[in-house]
Structure 1
Amino acid sequence: MDRFLSNFVHNIDAKGRVSVPAAFRQVIVARGIRELFAMRSLTHPVMDVGGPDLLERFEQKMAEADPLSETYQDLSIFAYGDGTYLKSDAEGRIAMTDFIRSHTGIKDRVVFVGARDYFQLWEPDYFEAYRNEARARLLSARQGQASTARAPE
């Protein structure tokens, strides 16, 4: 197991902690990730969570940019100023901090969603709606491709 795969809904306890799914903890161990880094998604009210490679993606983009450019500044603010390390305890729980809750709308339950090299934290109702919309878009695109392939010339 070396990819974050599938999705899991977990309850947040009274102290604001939630258990990272066992399957995700196995990936974390297999990849040798010691610290989890979280950053706000640019496209949805979702948190992206991963190891050093998540942060390194942005650092690589920053290395390609002029350090005096606005793009560099934007990437720097996004990666460093709008990200945080997540603390986990011995039982594999992480805290659902105000930083996470204010961006995601998560209250008492969270969906952990695999995204190959990292995972995401979603508010359950938002995830379900997005998943249904994504499926509809993919089916529509597939049907459009099938119609084009069958059309006579």
Structure 2
Amino acid sequence: MPSFKGQYEHSIDDKGRVAFPAKLRKNLSPDAQEKFTIVRGQSEECLYLYPENEWQAVEKKLSTVNSFSKKGRLVKRYLLRFAEDLSLDKQNRIALPSDHINYSAIDSKVVFIGMGEHIEIWSPAKLEEADENVSAESIEEIFEQVLGGDLENDGD
């Protein structure tokens, strides 16, 4: 299964169009048909871009969320309320919706970050701000908690 990775900075034009990075495009599944769903980031002021085939997996998971629970409704409402379908144009650009541009404080440039099954889209300034809030020590601790094991001694 192809995986999105890497970081790519591109300029955005006055109409909100930005070139979709060629290296990320190579990893698009044919099932995606160059179609995407874009949503707001969960706690960071960025955007999440899901290829159509990956978005179908998200929707499948959402269909199992209990709409009769307050938390279930909140998750569905927050995610689907701001979801929009997009496609690459003939110049391999993607047009970011203006409300998403405003939410993520995107100005003249965007940074695409491959996140495995989806892509994050950041304002360079917001990404720098997010990076400044993470120390090397906290990154090591987070890696240990999330991936497991003692990273300092692995491979020694």
Match of 2:139 in 1: 138
- Contact 2:140/2:151 (CA < 8 Å) preserved in 1? no
1:67-116 superposed Cα distances (whole Å, 9 cap, x missing partner): 32222322321232221112320111011321221210001100001101
Provide the TM-score with structure 1 as the length reference.
0.79
Aligned equivalents of 2:14, 2:99: Cα separation in 1: 17
The one-letter amino acid of 1:2's match is P
**Corresponding residue for residue 56 of structure 1:** 57
Question: What percent of counterpart residues are identical?
Answer: 19
Corresponding residue of 1:14: 14
1:113 match: 113
CA RMSD of aligned residues (A): 2.6
Tell me the number of residue pairs that the alignment of Structure 1 and Structure 2 aligns. 144
Structure 1: state its 5+ residue gaps: none
Deviation, 1:119, is 0.3
Equivalence map 1:1-153=2 (5 Å): 2-28=2-28, 30-34=29-33, 35-52=35-52, 53-54=54-55, 56-63=57-64, 65-134=65-134, 136=136, 137-139=138-140
Q: TM-score, with normalisation over the residues of structure 2?
A: 0.78
Change (3 A) 1:140 1:92: same
Taking a change above 3 Å as real, the CA distance of residues 76 and 59 of structure 1, as seen in their structure-2 partners, is farther
**CA shift for structure 1 position 139:** 4.3
Q: Compared with structure 1, are the counterparts of its residues 138 and 24 closer, same or farther at alpha carbon in structure 2 (3 Å cutoff)? A: same
Q: Which segments of 5 or more consecutive residues in structure 2 lack a partner in the other structure?
A: 144-149
Distance in 2 of aligned mates of 1:46 and 1:140:
24
Shifted more, 77-86 versus 113-122: the winner is: 77-86
Q: Distance in 2 between matches of 1:40 and 1:15?
A: 19
Runs of 4+ aligned structure 1 residues displaced above 6 Å come to none
Decide whether aligned partners of structure 1 residues 117 and 133 sit closer, same or farther in structure 2, where only a CA change above 3 A counts.
Answer: same
Pair 1:140–1:19, CA change in 2 (3 A)? same
Q: Which stretch of structure 1 is more off in the superposition, 110-119 or 94-103? A: 94-103
CA pair 141-57 structure 1, distance change in 2 beyond 3 A: closer
Higher share of residues assigned helix: 1
Say whether the 8 Å CA contact 1:36–1:86 is kept in structure 2. yes
| Distance in 1 separating the partners of 2:75 and 2:30 | 25
User: For the residues of structure 2 that align with 1:55 and 1:134, how far apart are their CA atoms?
Assistant: 32
